Amino acid sequence: MNYHFSAYLYRLQYIQRWSLMRSTAPENVAEHSFHVALLTHMLCSIGNIHYGRSLNAERAATMALFHDASEVFTGDIATPVKYNNPRLLTSFREMERIAAERLTGMIPPELQGIYTQLMQPEDSSPDSEDVLLHSYVKAADRLDAYLKCVWEVAAGNREFAAAKEQTGAKLRGLGLQEVDYFLTHMAPSFEMSLDELSAGN
């Protein structure tokens, strides 16, 4: 029997993000998932080193790789549409859950438990480490959206100016020390050109 899980995940590269906005650099879900995994690992590592936490950065980064896997069936739903009203959001959440279940059904049975936990950590028991790590994945997801906006605005694309301000405010509203550290010490580099980055080394 053939299992199509991995073949479908490879197709995330064809799902475009920011579909309602004019971008200078198109972005697909596969790229975004990689970026979120990088940021999740970084946030957890910052927490462990600077704030005395004991976060499993490797587990969190792996969860991040799969956080949007269901979009291979649903597509990337634009934020203004998804969060337009609570009823719509509830419907989209259910659609995402059904898509995730369909996708995990394409994994060999003996592996399904592993990937179900990675793709649906919100179903874990409330005291599970995955629930905590999932909050870092969500923060990294929002952080990646902010950095995309920063990059676009730095390239002269005013289309992303309002989104940058709104996303930045939501990030700061998380009250997560690791995010604040990143915004202070790492995010400013995203506004620099390659020559400016190189000049610093």
Q: How far apart are CA 91 and CA 88, in angstroms?
A: 5
Give the range among 76-80, 111-115, 150-154, 164-168 with minimum mean pLDDT: 76-80
Contact 147, 27 (CB under 8 A): no
Confidence (pTM):
0.93
Report the half-sphere exposure of 199 (CA within 13 A, side-chain side).
6
- Which pLDDT band holds residue 200 (cuts at 50, 70, 90)? low
Position 201 scores a pLDDT of 65
Position 85 scores a pLDDT of 82
Position 108 scores a pLDDT of 96
Query: In total, how many domains does the chain have?
Result: 1
Q: Look up the domain containing 92 and give its range.
A: 5-199
Which CATH number goes with the domain that contains 118? 1.10.3210.10
Segment 13-67, tens digit of pLDDT: 999 999 889 999 999 999 999 999 999 999 999 999 999 999 999 999 999 999 9
